[in-house]
Chain A
Amino acid sequence: MTELLLMSISSFQAGSRMLPLAMHIPDGFLSLPVILVTWILAIALIAICLKRAQFEYQERTVPLMGVCAAFIFAAQMINFPIPGGTSGHLLGGTLAGALLGPWAGSLVMVVVFMVQAFLFQDGGITVLGANIVNMGLIGTFGGYYLYAAIRKSLGWNSLRGIGVGAAVAAWASVVVGSIICAFQLAISGTVPLPVALSAMASWHVLIGIGEALITVTALGFIYRTRPDLIYKAPKKAIANRSMASR
């Protein structure tokens, strides 16, 4: 009886939603200690990013930050179906990192999650720190440095290095983010760890493929049109392009 009641409550809640709320953690899923630790981590990394961004970038990066935030916000609205009656959407941390580097890339991701939480009630405000870490900073830092390592090993200036690096890093950042989210849920006492780990990882292994496809498509478009805008831009592509436009 109680179970029936619970089921009908949860199906009512699911049915009342206009759009599925994104992969964002809502208020109520995390305990106070987990909330505090993730906020401290998020704020510390944001502070470092603000400091590094001061001297790391040129004025011309600023419009690209706006475009990157706009694109990632819009793309996050578009849930794509994955097999098994579930959906996923772009997170964008690796894309932001590859385009802008970890410092400005992280700031862009913070903007996206703030707009979602404050304007559209998507992702809890109390757990915003955790969402920034899981879906943003893991991509802009972890994803970026994995991308950079692969790009370096395959050829820093080659499209192959950029493409393979971005694909692997984008996929990995989604899977790692979901695993860290599973730990946060388990430590908070919301759901047992083995359940959280297997359930979160198994869906996000698939969702990560969508992340990789969108990230590589967007980077490929920029590589062909404005390779100079990629963070630590590929030299050959720029040279070829300016030769061709002469």
Chain B
Amino acid sequence: MSDSSRNRNVTFALIGLGIALAIATFLSPFASQNPDGLDRVAQDHKFDTKAAAETPAKQLPFYQVFEEYALRGVPKEIATPLAGIIGTLAAFGLAWGIGKVVVRNSGVPPEDDSTSPD
């Protein structure tokens, strides 16, 4: 891979991450508070009560840090944007890391097969 194409890809990654962070930060306070598809069905048909109250996720240390999409211990206005930022960075880092470990090929362009779906 040439240096210039590597730089272009890093630039693209930073722009993409910036867009994702902006969405998580500035749009999350405006997310609709209405129940979503499955929640709505569960409420309408009275099976929302079957959701477990004591879930395994609440036993994890992360539950001490986040209450759903809200960072604990900070003012309400910034709790969800901050949770969004941390979650977005976690997803970014984890997916990049898995990609780094899994993808073995380096540099050599593939045979041209871009006209078939698989």
Q: Which residues of B contact A61 (CB under 8 A)?
A: 99, 103
Query: Known contacts being A63-B10, A68-B95, is A26 close to B107, with CB within 8 Å?
Result: no
Q: Which residue of B lies closest to A77 (CB)?
A: B28
Q: Is B12 a contact of A124 with CB atoms below 8 Å?
A: no
Q: What is the CB-to-nearest-CB distance from B66 to chain A, in angstroms, rounded to a whole number?
A: 5
**Size band of the interface chain A makes with B:** 35 or more
Q: Is A20 a contact of B36 with CB atoms below 8 Å?
A: yes
Q: Which residues of B contact A53 (CB under 8 A)?
A: 99, 102-103
Q: Is B107 a contact of A59 with CB atoms below 8 Å?
A: yes
Describe A's contact surface by its main secondary structure: helix
Query: Known contacts being A87-B32, A151-B117, A199-B44, is A112 close to B69, with CB within 8 Å?
Result: no
Q: Which residues of B contact A17 (CB under 8 A)?
A: 68
Residues in A24-64 with C-beta less than 8 Å from chain B:
24-29, 50, 53-55, 57-64
Q: Which residues of B contact A235 (CB under 8 A)?
A: 114
Q: What is the CB-to-nearest-CB distance from A169 to chain B, in angstroms, rounded to a whole number?
A: 12
Q: Which residues of A contact B47 (CB under 8 A)?
A: 29, 185, 190-191
A229 is an interface residue with CB less than 8 A from chain B: yes
Give Cα A196–Cα B30 distance, bound, in whole angstroms. 29
Find B68's partner among A10, A18, A89 (CB 8 Å cutoff). A18
Subset of 19 A-B contacts with CB under 8 Å: A21-B39, A21-B68, A58-B110, A61-B103, A62-B103, A63-B9, A65-B95, A70-B21, A74-B20, A78-B23, A87-B31, A87-B36, A119-B62, A120-B68, A124-B55, A126-B56, A148-B117, A149-B117, A226-B12
Q: What is the interface of chain B, defined by CB distance below 8 A to chain A?
A: 1, 5-6, 8-10, 12-13, 16-17, 19-21, 23-24, 27-28, 30-52, 55-58, 60, 62-63, 65-70, 79-80, 83-84, 86-96, 98-100, 102-110, 113-118
